[in-house]
Each structure stands twice: as structure tokens, then as C-alpha cells.
Amino acid sequence: MVSSQLIEDSFTDFQYCQLEAMAEKTRCTVNENLWFNKNGNINQAQTQQFGRKTCVFQLGFGRFKCER
């Protein structure tokens, strides 16, 4: 599981988790409501607040965008 402090520091932790999921062919969990499957796809479309960042996760290819 990726720590929320790391997520607050940089959204690249999402990218790392996504890449780890694809490389290891396993699920990588960001938090209890958000994870990437072995293909790098997100479990569901959603918007989450991490510290001062708002991140929008879209279905299809695990796309996401974070803004302050």
C-alpha cells in the first residue's frame, strides 16, 4: 500500500504503483478504495483528495490527473 504522505508529496507515487502492478503482474493498492490491476487499469473511476491535491481517476488505461 502506498502511504498517503507519499501521495501528498508527489503524484508520481500513483505512476509508480501503476508501473509496479504491470511489471509484477499483480494488484497494487494505493488505498482501500483505489488500486491498479495487473494491466495497469484503475479499479473504478473516482475523484479523491490527497492533502492539497485533488486527483481524478478515469477508467481505461488507468489514466489519472492530479491538481492542487
d(CA 29, CA 52): 21
Report pLDDT digits (tens) over 3-53.
555 544 555 678 888 899 999 999 999 888 899 999 999 999 999 888 888
The residue-averaged pLDDT of 47-64 equals 86
d(CA 46, CA 44): 6
Whole-structure pTM value: 0.73
d(CA 37, CA 51): 24
Q: Are 55 and 31 in contact (CB under 8 A)?
A: no
d(CA 46, CA 14): 14
Q: Any idea how long the chain is?
A: 68
Whole-number pLDDT of residue 5: 54
Whole-number pLDDT of residue 68: 83
